[in-house]
Amino acid sequence: MEATRPRRVLRASAAALGCALSLLPARAATGGAPSVEGPIAGPGSVSLDSTAFPLAPFRYAEEEFFLAGTATAYTSDAPLSSDGRWAASPGESAAYATRVVVRRPTARARFNGTVVVEWLNV
């Protein structure tokens, strides 16, 4: 049962991101939900500067997952204007694989539904 909690938090994070993306105009169907592998166990640990201290004393856990799926690129239908109102159409799609680091409360009751997405390599 404990192993499914991180997946639920990860799915909640993905759902929150999906809801945010659904507000964007000209959205096309994607390749479906990504495959999720993890939490990843093995040699080494997650190395992010923002957590150079142990999270356990604060009752948080940090886990790494691998996601893979198909992403769709979008192309502009017209030259981009300065007002930020642009029309786009789906273009090519390609396979992707990435990693996601999830920091979550160790107790499910402490999760308030807030998900913060930090994009580290744009």
Angle (nearest 5°) at CA 16 between 38 and 117: 70
pLDDT, tens digit, for every residue of 39-68?
988 777 777 666 778 889 999 988 889 999
3-state secondary structure of 60: strand
pTM reported for the whole predicted model = 0.60
Exposure string (b/e) for 98-107, b if CB count within 10 Å is 16 or more?
eebbbbbbee
pLDDT of res. 22 = 41
CA distance 6 to 32: 20
Those residues of the chain that have pLDDT short of 50 are: 1, 3, 16-29
Q: H or E segment at 75?
A: strand 60-76
Q: Which two tokens stand for residue 87?
A: 């029309």
